[in-house]
Amino acid sequence: MRYVAERVGSLAAVTSPPYDVVVRPDGLRALETADPYNIVRLILPQAGTPADRHRQAAETLRRWQADGILAPDPEPALYVYEQRDGHLLQRGIIGALRLSPREEGVVLPHEEVMPHVVDDRAALMRATDANLEPLLLAYRSDGSVTGAASVVERTARLRPLLSTTTEDGFSHHLWRVTDPADLAEIAADLRHRQALIADGHHRWATYLRLREERTEPGPWDFGLVLLVDTARYPLRVRAIHRLLHQLSPADALAALGAPEGSAFRVRAVDGPLPQALATLAKAADEPGAGNAFLLAGDGGFHLLDRPDPALLARTVPTDRPEAWRTLDATVLHALLLRHIWQVPDTPGHIGYLHDAAAAVEQAERHGGTAVLMHPVREGVVHDLARQGIPMPHKSTSFGPKPASGLVLRSLALG
């Protein structure tokens, strides 16, 4: 299903970032007011209880279909999807991918998931009978313009089905692929590929859960994804930052032993935010610096690095490979959150934000602490995924992410 362009203000105004990237509540309000039909009303419905939220999303979706706001395309298709921002170009294929468990080695997750998020997404998908936004999956070809890549590049030279430019400056173009020869060429190429979940672990876990609930084959055996060939279009890897709602920066620093910094070396660093983040990046790359984090929320910035080896040995689990034990996210959750700060990993205590400026702004506004992270190297992600070792949840943010609202998949329509 897609929006009927003539029935909405603009295609840009009805799109949204993925549900877990929307900064709440400010970003949510901005999207809701951008257009009465913005997709955020489906992926993040607002009501008093979870059951009411999911029921509201289902009713909204049915109403938009009845009113001709959303309509199914006339025939099944795959879609070539392009995103551009200055010199950055990404192209991939959107379609329904047959689901497979981790053991089959076809789709590799690299992060753990939070059960309450999967519960919520599953209830939403059951209520709406739809995949409302595509996951981002990365696969790697040999880099040649053959197979799926050949179809993508040929199709991208044609006139697009739709084009729009979103507020973040990205232009989006979509083409429909229905030619049987093109579809067969894509399928033959991808049949033997392996994909990494770049973004959408909770939705993939939701797909698998909902498929397991059904005894007969059907549309729930598939899930909506965007597949990007990273040999041709490398993804960017960014960090996901933590917002500690109920811990002030003063209390966080006091618990660390600052100014002495017994658990970590703790130093005040100069702002503004871009300069402080540059200091974090430099510290993370210094030999012997170990794990590094940036604390903010009181108008200043404090760099944490060189953790105490004895504390690491006592608090970080030893039953995983060294690459996992030394991850910033592992050390953050095991040593800082659980051992030193004793912060439960629940929505009331920890928020996960992709934007560093938003994390700092919310921490300063509400008296919390922003813990800013340094990105994980992409090679580490792939190595751990191939070993079947999941990273802590919300360890990475791959992008650019597909805009939600350009392609939806109705399971009620088959």
Confidence of residue 260 (pLDDT cuts 50, 70, 90): very low
% pLDDT > 70, the chain: 99
Supply the pLDDT for residue 377.
Answer: 86
Instruction: Classify burial at 286, counting beta carbons within 10 Å of its beta carbon; exposed 0-12, middle 13-18, buried 19 or more.
Output: exposed
Chain segment 264-297, per-residue pLDDT in tens: 999 999 999 999 999 999 999 888 778 999 999 9
Domain that holds residue 16: 2-236+399-410
What whole-number distance in Å separates Cα of residue 222 and Cα of residue 208?
A: 9
Asked if 259 and 347 sit in the same domain, the reply is: yes
What whole-number distance in Å separates Cα of residue 125 and Cα of residue 248?
A: 37
Asked if 284 and 343 sit in the same domain, the reply is: yes
Asked if 267 and 229 sit in the same domain, the reply is: no
Q: What is the DSSP string of 352-379?
A: EES-HHHHHHHHHHHT-EEEE-PPPPHH
Asked if 107 and 165 sit in the same domain, the reply is: yes
Asked if 225 and 247 sit in the same domain, the reply is: no
What whole-number distance in Å separates Cα of residue 235 and Cα of residue 242?
A: 22
For residue 275, the one-letter residue type is: Q
CB contact set of 247 (below 8 Å; sequence gap of 6+): 341, 343, 349, 368, 369
Strand ranges (E), 166-264: 171-177, 195-199, 222-229, 236-238, 241-244
3-state SS, residue 401: coil
Asked if 268 and 388 sit in the same domain, the reply is: yes
Supply the pLDDT for residue 31.
Answer: 92
Chain segment 298-345, per-residue pLDDT in tens: 999 999 999 999 999 999 999 999 999 999 999 999 999 999 999 999
CATH code where residue 146 lies: 3.90.1530.10
Can you read off the two tokens belonging to residue 401? 């992410």
Chain segment 156-204, per-residue pLDDT in tens: 999 999 999 998 899 999 999 999 999 999 999 999 999 999 999 999 9
User: What mean pLDDT value characterizes the chain?
Assistant: 94
Asked if 260 and 199 sit in the same domain, the reply is: no
CB atoms within 10 A of CB 245: 17
Average pLDDT estimate for 375-397 = 88
Pick the closest to residue 195 from 155, 156, 235 (CA basis): 235
Q: Are 71 and 6 in contact (CB under 8 A)?
A: no
Asked if 307 and 225 sit in the same domain, the reply is: no
- Domains contained in the chain, number: 2
- CA angle at 171 for the pair 166 and 176, rounded to the nearest 5°: 110
Per-residue pLDDT at 259 exceeds 80: no
What whole-number distance in Å separates Cα of residue 14 and Cα of residue 149?
A: 29
What whole-number distance in Å separates Cα of residue 234 and Cα of residue 399?
A: 9
Per-residue pLDDT at 365 exceeds 80: yes
Pick the closest to residue 114 from 336, 333, 380 (CA basis): 333
Asked if 71 and 148 sit in the same domain, the reply is: yes
Chain segment 113-144, per-residue pLDDT in tens: 999 999 999 999 999 999 999 999 999 999 99
3-state SS, residue 278: helix
% pLDDT > 90, the chain: 84
Per-residue pLDDT at 261 exceeds 60: no
Supply the pLDDT for residue 414.
Answer: 65
Asked if 207 and 245 sit in the same domain, the reply is: no
- CA angle at 20 for the pair 351 and 345, rounded to the nearest 5°: 30
Per-residue pLDDT at 17 exceeds 70: yes
Cis amide linkage into residue 272, ω under 30° from 0: yes
Half-sphere exposure of 130 (CA within 13 A, CB side): 24
Pick the closest to residue 202 from 210, 214, 194 (CA basis): 210
Q: Are 398 and 21 in contact (CB under 8 A)?
A: no
Asked if 42 and 113 sit in the same domain, the reply is: yes
Asked if 37 and 183 sit in the same domain, the reply is: yes
